[in-house]
Amino acid sequence: MEQFVFEVSAEESGQRIDKALAKRLDEAIETGFSRKKTKKLLDANEVRRNGRVERIASRRLQVGDKVQVRVNPDVVGSPKSHKKFNLSPDEILWEDEFVIAIDKPSGLPSQKTRDPRRDHAVAAVRRYLKWRGDDDPYVALHHRLDVGTSGVLLFARDRRANKGLADAFQQRTIRKTYRAVSRSTEQSQRRDEGDRWAVDNHLASSTSGGGGRQQAVQSGGDFARTEFEICERTGSVHHIVARPQTGRRHQIRVHLADEGLPIVGDERYGGAAQWDGKEVERMMLHAQRLVLSHPVRDSVIDITSPVPHEFQVRGADL
């Protein structure tokens, strides 16, 4: 059972304890932490403020407050990240002797993290190729999907594919299509079916709030462009096609949040934690399609991952 002690900073003064504590734990715990889990700890008497048990999530913090919290696995569950993910043939979306693409599930990191116990997609592909009979498989990752994002993830399985894949991603010749479910935070921010627009700005790591957030900046940062289309809307819920033209960290998530359409389940950027009265177990962002020139052969690779069943149209509001 992990225990943490935090002293409230001037920046955190006046914030709700559940919000401030969730950010602190998200920074401190490698596997990440959500506001929903923080609320469970408060309800279970696992949080103390200045030595007294604190159960009120909306309690406002003051500078210098001491917050102690026990991250009890009996309350929030054991980290899913320590479970092994074993690929099946059905999860191989495309393969030849040079390239392999898998259908990555939400919750699996693309590559190794600081936690040596945590499984990741590179290790899962290596295990799969060994299971198929390759004693020493070569696996190289040229792009990443966020932990909560599912869908098409591409690897080189031969060193001769590395240059072609690296050039394709660096020169932005790859066409990427994502699906997202978002909720407008205000009536005025709702968009209609068929609406199309693009976001162009520069993104950089946030200097406040922590938790590995990205934000739009007026100067510096990296150029980011995403094209969006509303394919269906029911009430405040928007089903969105996103086509990122660049590959910046959290790009689609930041662009939608800044448009007043945070992705459902993306608590880091203000996304709703419930949909149709039920808790959302994942971030509703999916890498649906990848189209690129073959890195070795004179051909085109076109890979599609089916949209997960969780994305099916449900209630009008969350």
CATH code of the domain made up of 171-311? 3.30.2350.10
- Supply the pLDDT for residue 267: 84
> Is the model more confident about 83 or about 273?
273
Q: Tokens standing for 295?
A: 């890195």
d(CA 13, CA 8): 7
What pLDDT was estimated at residue 201?
A: 96
- Residue 82 pLDDT greater than 70, yes or no: no
What class, spelled out in words, does domain 81-167 have in CATH?
alpha beta
Q: How far apart are CA 153 and CA 141, in angstroms?
A: 9
pLDDT of residue 80: 53
Overall average pLDDT of the 143-158 stretch: 96
Beta strands of 161-275 (E only): which ranges? 175-183, 196-205, 214-217, 222-234, 237-244, 274-275
What's the whole-model pTM score? 0.77
Is the pLDDT at 112 greater than 60? The verdict is yes
Residues of the chain with CATH 3.30.2350.10: 81-167, 171-311
Asked if pLDDT for residue 92 goes beyond 90, the answer is yes
What stretch(es) of the chain map to CATH 3.10.290.10?
2-76
Band of residue 318 on the pLDDT scale cut at 50, 70, 90: very low
26-40, 142-156, 292-306: which range is least confident on average? 26-40
Residue 4 CB coordination number (10 Å) = 14
| pLDDT exceeds cutoff 80 at 114 | no
Residue pLDDT, tens place only, 2-29: 889 999 999 899 999 999 998 888 877 7
| Euclidean distance between CA atoms 6 and 49, whole angstroms | 10
Determine the topology of domain 2-76 in CATH. 3.10.290
